[in-house]
Amino acid sequence: MFGTCTVPWPLAVAEARTKGWRVSPAAQVVVFSECRDFSIVRAVLELVSWNVNRLSVWDDLVADPRLDFALLQESPRPPAGLLAGCVPATDADWTTAHWPSELRTCIAQVSDRYRMVPRRLRDLHESDLSALGVSRRGTLTVADIYRDDKHVVTLASAYAAWERPPGREGFIYADASAHRLLSDLAPLLTGRRDERLIVAGDFNILHGYGEHGDPYFADRYRSVFDRARSMGLLYIGPQNPAGRQAHPWPDELPLNSRNVPTYHHSRQTPLTATRQLDFVFATENLADLVTTRALNDVEGWGPSDHCRVAITADL
């Protein structure tokens, strides 16, 4: 059954927006609760993906009235009672395998416009096949997002951990971890049309080139993006013009690159950052509904060595 609201139009628009719905400029009605026409009013999720580099940024997150969810990496445990919700729960295990500190990926719910349900996870050696297997505990967090009883999207916060070859110091790589993350996500990607997944995080790889122009690692990194596409996960961004590009232009970066720096090392600043390590992927059915932007201007970079990546999902 469909029907129209009887309250004045400005009040209807205001009410719809408080519920996280987007009102089409051409719409003449707002359709509420039992009378929903989602071609007129749609849900808009405002997300951010951010490697917070061990920093407590909770006050910054909850101060943003537009934000619905934050997909965090290298995050400390949040204080109890501050967020509208958190996966994992604030009193759950907060470790990443092989790390000494309490840091991990998480999904923080900031607004109460949606309902978040965690996906159960397990270590690969555990026998509970009803849970999603994760190759390295703490590097992946997954949750389903609902509006009322309607599934809106599945979110995944991902971190590709650095590794080094046995017996070799001074050499690290993360593309193997990125491939493991894709393997962990494979059960959520079976080619069905109703699968709606957004994956965002710090993958610690480069897009379109290798360090210092290394063609070998350019091919290795390309294999991650190619494999994601073959699984049905398209690379969404961020890419220029949705973010400031490196200046001066790095010698290693191809001249036609649209990459936007999202990370600076200890000898750089937000102004001199050159590399993009943070990426957003989405299933093909969401590709035209998800936009991204690197919040990498100097003033808005934030306290971490990674900038925030803003994600808007107009669903």
The pLDDT tens digits of the residues spanning 264-278 come to: 999 999 999 999 999
Instruction: Round to whole Å and give the CA distance between 38 and 151.
Output: 13
Count the alpha carbons within 13 Å of 180 in the hemisphere toward its beta carbon: 20
pLDDT at 62 over 70: yes
Domain containing residue 86: CATH number = 3.60.10.10
Whether 162 and 220 share a structural domain: yes
pLDDT the model gives residue 21: 53
Range of the domain at 28: 1-39
| 147-190: pLDDT as tens digits | 988 999 999 999 999 999 998 888 899 999 999 999 999 999 99
Whether 117 and 9 share a structural domain: no
Whether 202 and 188 share a structural domain: yes
Instruction: Round to whole Å and give the CA distance between 41 and 20.
Output: 10
The one-letter code for the residue type at 97 is: A
Instruction: Round to whole Å and give the CA distance between 204 and 191.
Output: 27
pLDDT at 311 over 70: yes
Whether 130 and 32 share a structural domain: no
Whether 18 and 82 share a structural domain: no
Whether 216 and 238 share a structural domain: yes
pLDDT (mean) for 115-134:
93
| Whether the Cβ atoms of residue 240 and residue 258 lie closer than 8 Å to each other | yes
Whether 27 and 69 share a structural domain: no
What residues pair up with 154 in beta bridges, in sequence order? 144, 197
Whether 152 and 191 share a structural domain: yes
| 236-268: pLDDT as tens digits | 999 999 999 999 999 999 999 999 999 999 999
Among residues 131, 150, 128, the alpha carbon closest in space to that of 142 is found at 131
The total number of structural domains in the chain stands at: 2
pLDDT at 32 over 60: no
Map residue 157 onto helix, strand or coil. Answer: strand
Whether 215 and 118 share a structural domain: yes
Whether 54 and 34 share a structural domain: no
From the number of C-beta atoms within 10 Å of its C-beta (0-12, 13-18, 19+), residue 27 rates as middle
Instruction: Round to whole Å and give the CA distance between 49 and 75.
Output: 11
Report residue 16's pLDDT band, with 50, 70 and 90 as the boundaries. low
Mean pLDDT taken over the chain: 89
Whether 126 and 4 share a structural domain: no
Report residue 25's pLDDT band, with 50, 70 and 90 as the boundaries. very low
- Relative to beta strand 140-147, strand 85-87 is unpaired
Long-range contacts: 161-168, Cβ < 8 Å, 24+? Answer: 161/96, 161/98, 161/136, 161/204, 162/204
Map residue 114 onto helix, strand or coil. Answer: coil
| Whether the Cβ atoms of residue 129 and residue 100 lie closer than 8 Å to each other | no
| pTM: predicted TM-score of the whole model, two decimal places | 0.87
Whether 256 and 280 share a structural domain: yes
